[in-house]
Amino acid sequence: MLKKYIILYLALLSVNYSLLAQKRPNVVIIVSDDHAYQTIGAYGSKYAKTPNIDRIANEGALFSHAYVNNSICGPSRATLLTGKYSHKNGFRDNETSEFDFSQDSFVKQLQSAGYNTAWVGKIHLGEKLQGFNYFDVLVGQGTYFNPVFSRKEGRELTEGYVSSIITDKALGWLDQQESTEPFCLVLGHKATHRTWMPDPQDFGKFDSVDFEIPATFYDDYASRDAAKQQEMSIDKDMLMGYDLKMFPTLEAMMADGNFKRMNPEQRDKYIAYYRPIYQELESKKLTGKALAEWKFKRYMIDYLNTAESMDRNIGRVLDYLEEKNLTDNTIVIYLSDQGFYMGEHGWFDKRWMYEESFRTPFLMKYPGKIKPHSTLSAKVVNADIAPTLLELASVKVPVDMQGKSFVHVLNKPNSEHRKNLFYHYFENGEHAVSPHFGVADDRYKLIRYYKRVENWELFDMKQDPREMHNVYSDPSYKNIVKKMKKKLLNEIESFDDQEAKAIFLTDIEN
């Protein structure tokens, strides 16, 4: 008799566990690369067509103040995984860091709680992944055409265009999941990373658009020494061949690494589209501002065309969830690994604590939990995503995660989350951007540069939202400087950033 009761108890326990697994939300995180919030319809873009990214906003929430802790590809993804800032997860920059996959991550926690986990696409943290039941990731930065992927069985080249391939692989994995077990899928796009190579079917979609030159395009960087030294100017540093596909000869075009990867059909389509543009440019003999503005327009066209394919493929994922009746119990997040410059300050790229690269698009939907068409103004950072997902999945948050769950903001949309934002960019190489750290509150932003440039910047974001005027040395802001330095030191100590603390305490003014 006792044996029968034990069998019945175990059967009921199994049923209850199965029901619990079904109730736990599935998670789909879509991470783009260098996708500027300025180029997303939901964020008010005049030009971009992003109907599928906008669907996430329409069915859920748009975060109007979402930021990153370190505006560069690999470090941003490391923070997403670990819920820790760069100095704690060990991946501080793309040039010298190696990610330690043996450390804890939110996917490991979900996996231990019964989730099937996968990362498909760009990760840019190496190929020795842990915490994933399945992975199929781009090798290194990846390529737009015929990319090489790495999975447990080894490397393999896959023919086609990268945004479509990544989506095919992700949906293929989803098709294999059991309905009784929750899943967590991270889908990492290569788009819209340099060199902005569109799917040929998207050629021509923005060719006739009259793009407005940003108000700060001809910034002279007065009072901002670090900005004067950068090498990310559209005018001076954007390359005609490598970036804009304007090669002097067909032979030079085909010698470029991106074109060497293409099959004949892919090359023919690129030649047919870009060579007439080059010939027209040559006939105009543009120089000076006219050439700089031509480069800006071509940059915008290639960038937005590249985003078209990514958005279309995001639509495929959303459609799949609907077709499989997964929508109601699936959290969908869309974000970029950081912001990006679309000609503001005359720039492309990212890295700075200035708003265009510091701020990331962040959209989230979870039916029944997040009200459709919501705009959430609470300040959040990418480190906050990991603990938020764990709380939503009823999984204990590890004590060493530095991010803070913002589930309370989802429950009460007018809630505050972070009073201040801490940032630290470490890389001292490409684009000649000086390492720096800083703090931002509701009005002011204080930045300390080091290594390449040793100085401070203070911006009054109410009076100067475009960050053109460094008022650090303005006597009328003397008390603000003191208050912001106190806030910065508090953030440094809260996040235990010992390198930043030593630099902060170094007197460079006397």
Banded pLDDT at 22 (limits 50, 70, 90) = low
Q: Are strands 380-381 and 421-425 parallel, antiparallel or unpaired?
A: unpaired
Q: Is 305's pLDDT higher than 70?
A: yes
Q: Are 367 and 249 in contact (CB under 8 A)?
A: no
User: Under a CB-based contact definition with an 8 Å cutoff, are residues 419 and 412 in contact?
Assistant: no
pLDDT band at 23 (very low <50, low <70, confident <90, very high): confident
Amino acid identity at 346: G
pLDDT the model gives residue 378: 98
Whole-number average pLDDT of the chain:
95
Residue 413 structure tokens = 């949309």
What pLDDT, on a 0 to 100 scale, did the predictor assign at position 16?
A: 43
pLDDT at 50: 97
Q: Which pLDDT value is given to residue 4?
A: 53
- The answer to whether residue 19 scores a pLDDT higher than 70 is no
* pLDDT of 193 higher than 90: yes
Check pLDDT > 80 for residue 130. Answer: yes
Is the pLDDT confidence value at 424 over 90? yes
- In the chain the domains, ranked by start, together with CATH numbers, are 25-197+307-415 (3.40.720.10), 424-504 (3.30.1120.10)
- Cα separation of 398 and 104, whole Å? 8
What CA–CA distance (Å, rounded) separates 265 from 262? 8
pTM beyond cutoff 0.85: yes
pLDDT at 15 exceeding the cut of 70: no
Residue 175: pLDDT band by 50, 70, 90 thresholds? very high
pLDDT > 70? residue 21: no
Of residues 19 and 296, more confidence is placed in 296
pLDDT in tens, 79-104: 999 999 999 999 999 999 999 999 99
Q: Confidence band (pLDDT; 50, 70, 90) for 242? A: very high
Tokens 């309905």: give the residue.
Answer: 179
Nearest in space to 323 (alpha carbons), one of 501, 140, 171: 171
Instruction: Decide if pLDDT at 14 tops 80.
Output: no
Per-residue pLDDT tens over the stretch 247-303: 999 999 999 999 999 999 999 999 999 999 999 999 999 999 999 999 999 999 999
When pLDDT is averaged across residues 49-64 and rounded to a whole number, the result is: 98
d(CA 101, CA 37): 30
435-448 residue pLDDT tens:
999 999 999 999 99
Six token digits for residue 360: 């990331």
Cα 205 to Cα 93: distance, rounded to the nearest angstrom: 35
CA 486 to CA 268: how far, in whole Å?
A: 59
pLDDT band at residue 509 under the 50/70/90 scheme: confident
pLDDT per position as a tens digit, 332-357: 999 999 999 999 999 999 999 999 99
Residue, of 510 and 401, whose pLDDT is higher:
401
Percent of the chain with pLDDT over 90: 94
pLDDT tops 70 at residue 3: no
Nearest C-alpha neighbor of 350 from the set 292, 294, 425, 462: 425
The residue whose two tokens read 């809260």 is 494
Copy the structure tokens of residue 287. Answer: 């120089």
Provide CB contacts within 8 A for 416, sequence distance 6+. Answer: 378, 379
pLDDT in tens, 400-413: 999 999 999 999 99
Query: Within a 10 A sphere around the Cβ of 462, how many other Cβ atoms?
Result: 9
